[in-house]
Structure 1
Amino acid sequence: MPDRLPIRTTAAALVTAALLTGCGTTPAPDAPAAPATPGKTSATAPAVKAAATLGGPGSACALPVSFGLAADWKPAAVKEPADPDFAELVRQGPAVMRCEVDAKPSGNIGFLRVWTAAKGPARTALEGFVTAASRPSAVTYRDTRAGALAAVEVTYTTYSELTDESKEERAFAVSTPKGAVVIVHLGGFDTDEHRAMLPAYELARSTTKAL
């Protein structure tokens, strides 16, 4: 679930488990260096290769885009519940969560989550998504590429009541030919986990294709 207020995040994670359906880096050279967190290391893992593709025919999640998945990352589709109280847990700003890719089988604590917004532009949808996060700060947007697609990427920090510290997050957004905006977000339990999972995020960004 979205990395918002941690109490809400924990509850959201439990709800997501019941809603799951379906079946399955290092910052880019032009990205600003991630700020160090006191007491944390700043090392990131090396780049990884795709072990599967998410979003295409027969994959775990039906999406307007496809991208490569790192080994042992487990995707599952998220169904929006009819109950408004629970539906809010899979919404963040203008976006609705469509897929959740769990990193735990690969040894990290976090998720790569795919969201869609009804219409763009991509930056407007991404700004609304970030504004709705838990106390976002140090927000930086930049134009980039996601595969062959024009994209907007954001790096920022949010505050976690669960760990009582700020943590790094990032996401990229693309507009698709059919009009929907896709947001791919990487959070993590804390900044160390986030940085360890960057290779999987960069893999997704570099291999994104519109369907």
Structure 2
Amino acid sequence: MPERSVTRATRTAVPVALLAAGLLLSGCGTGQGPAAAPAKPSAPAKAAEPAKSTAPAKEATAAPAGSLGGPGTACALPFSFSLAEDWQPKAIENPEDPEFAALTRQGPATVRCEVDAKPAGHIGYLRVWTAPKGLARPTLEAFVTAEKGSRKAVYADTKAGSLPAVQVVYEVHSELMDETKTERAFAVETADGKVVIVHLGGLDTEEHQAMRPAYELARSTLTAS
């Protein structure tokens, strides 16, 4: 229902002569002019706002709660690294079986182990892949190129523990879902010349960023098994 407009009644104007007479009467018999209006109190000084910090926000970190790769762990790998709390590792059964190559192979690499983030409250995996003898960067490039929808890959030299490594951050676009998400991985060469790739995916970019501390924990603690 449209609102009704309300018209306020106009008050009767005071005649100018009567108003003037009233002003004159207010000054009679006092011998003084109209009293001065009291001074208004000055507004209190505004407190200075605290200076905003310009220091960059600290990235979230994950505390180690186990390890993977060494003797007695879920996956036998050329390298070992620390696991974040509640992340559950599992070795891939028969990764060389050609019947499952579409699931276990990506470019030159074969998946050996996956660490499930669901028990930690996230949707995604940290996966470990191995590739035949070669250099870390070309192997990592071939690995990324083989992933359908990969694009905008940015590579950089880095460290995995104390070892030289190559890292990539890239996007994967799904035409079916019409969505794009972030993924990342790092590659390290083994003592016998093979390459190990540790990859972090995720349901979407938000999940990926939430899981990134576990990935950084693995990268920073990597050592030869």
TM-score bracket, shorter-length normalisation: 0.7 to 0.9
Structure 1 residue 85, shift from structure 2 partner: 3.0
Which residue of 101, 109, 125 corresponds with 2:123? 109
Structure 1 residue 86 corresponds to structure 2 residue 109: no
- Decide whether the 8 Å contact of 1:80 with 1:87 is kept in 2: no
1:158/1:173 Cα in 2 relative to 1: closer, same or farther (>3 Å)?
same
Corresponding residue for residue 111 of structure 2 = 97
Structure 1 residue 44, shift from structure 2 partner: 9.6
Question: Aligned residue pairs: how many?
Answer: 169
- Decide whether the 8 Å contact of 2:168 with 2:186 is kept in 1: yes
- Decide whether the 8 Å contact of 1:92 with 1:129 is kept in 2: yes
Q: Deviations along 1:104-155, whole A, 9 cap, x unmatched?
A: 0000000000000011201111011000012211110000000011000000
- Decide whether the 8 Å contact of 1:45 with 1:195 is kept in 2: no
What is the rounded CA distance, in whole Å, between the counterparts of 2:182 and 2:82 in structure 1?
Answer: 23
Report the identity percentage. Answer: 63
Which structure has more relative contact order (CA 8 Å, sep 6+)? It is: 1
Which segments of 5 or more consecutive residues in structure 2 lack a partner in the other structure?
1-56
Corresponding residue for residue 169 of structure 2 = 155
What is the rounded CA distance, in whole Å, between the counterparts of 1:197 and 1:81 in structure 2?
Answer: 25
Corresponding residue for residue 118 of structure 1 = 132
1:44/1:93 Cα in 2 relative to 1: closer, same or farther (>3 Å)?
farther
Structure 1 residue 88, shift from structure 2 partner: 2.8
Corresponding residue for residue 82 of structure 2 = 68
- Decide whether the 8 Å contact of 2:95 with 2:112 is kept in 1: no
Structure 1 residue 196 corresponds to structure 2 residue 210: yes
What is the rounded CA distance, in whole Å, between the counterparts of 2:81 and 2:178 in structure 1?
Answer: 33
Larger Rg: 2
CA RMSD across the alignment: 1.7
1:57/1:86 Cα in 2 relative to 1: closer, same or farther (>3 Å)?
same
Corresponding residue for residue 9 of structure 2 = none
Q: Deviations along 1:156-209, whole A, 9 cap, x unmatched?
A: 000135642010000000001122200000000000000000000000000001
What is the rounded CA distance, in whole Å, between the counterparts of 2:69 and 2:187 in structure 1?
Answer: 15
Q: Deviations along 1:6-48, whole A, 9 cap, x unmatched?
A: xxxxxxxxxxxxxxxxxxxxxxxxxxxxxxxxxxxxx997101
What is the rounded CA distance, in whole Å, between the counterparts of 1:67 and 1:147 in structure 2?
Answer: 9
Structure 1 residue 187 corresponds to structure 2 residue 210: no
- TM-score between the two structures when normalised by the length of structure 1: 0.76
- TM-score between the two structures when normalised by the length of structure 2: 0.72
Q: Secondary structure at the match of 2:156?
A: strand
Structure 1 residue 129 corresponds to structure 2 residue 129: no
Q: Secondary structure at the match of 1:197?
A: helix
Which segments of 5 or more consecutive residues in structure 1 lack a partner in the other structure?
1-42
Corresponding residue for residue 155 of structure 2 = 141
